[in-house]
Amino acid sequence: MAAPIAIGAVVRLASRKNAQMAESVDALVSNTNNFTVVPVRPRLWVLLKLQNFWSFFYFRPMASVYILYSKKLDRFYVGSCKDLSFRIDQHLKKEFAESFTTSAEDWELYLSIDELTYEQARLIEVHLKKMKSKTYVQNLLKYPEIIERLKVKYS
């Protein structure tokens, strides 16, 4: 059974040359005492480069920042959550009677920023709300590098 790979890890396979060398070493080690060939190491090598040492030891669920747009109100709504489709359904079904999104029926997903830690999502949400700028929100869609800078800033 293969060992689990940490979330957030960068995975790449070793080169074919390294794999052939491993097979040669396996054959040499296994045949030294005339025993049947038993592989000493796995045929597929996976090299892990952890982005964060502690990410190997625990699972962090991914979160999203989302922006909804209403044509009726000509307004944006910014939020963050761990389950985007569930949260949008909550908005559309008006599960929270006092929330801002109950003031319109036509909310649609304008933009989502995915694969964030929950802390990162909350910080980016607060940043966007503090900007209070329709132009800034529209520029997020026009210029994706702004989103990348926000991810780095709040990582």
The identity of residue 134, as a single letter, is K
Indicate the pTM of the whole model: 0.62
pLDDT confidence band for 66 (50 / 70 / 90): very high
* Position with higher pLDDT, 79 vs 60: 79
Which whole number is the average pLDDT over 132-147? 96
Greater model confidence, 58 or 79:
79
Q: What is the largest CA-CA distance in the chain?
A: 81
Residue type, 101: T
Helix (H) or strand (E) holding 11: strand 9-13
Contact 81, 64 (CB under 8 A): yes
Distance of CA 91 to the CA centre of its chain: 23
Q: What is the DSSP string of 83-150?
A: -HHHHHHHHHTT-STTSGGGG-S--EEEEEEEEE-HHHHHHHHHHHHHH--HHHHHHHHH-HHHHHHH
CA-nearest of 88, 63, 58, 61 to 151 is 63
pLDDT in tens, 76-119: 999 999 999 999 999 999 998 899 999 999 999 999 999 999 99
Q: Rounded to 5, what percent of the chain is helix, strand, coil?
A: 40, 20, 35
Class of domain 63-153: alpha beta
Per-residue pLDDT at 48: 43
Name the residue ranges covered by the structural domains of the chain.
Answer: 9-56, 63-153
pLDDT at 12 over 50: no
Name the token pair of 36: 């049947």
Q: What are 15-43's pLDDT values in tens digits? A: 444 444 444 544 554 455 555 544 444 44
Please state the rounded mean pLDDT for residues 130-151: 96
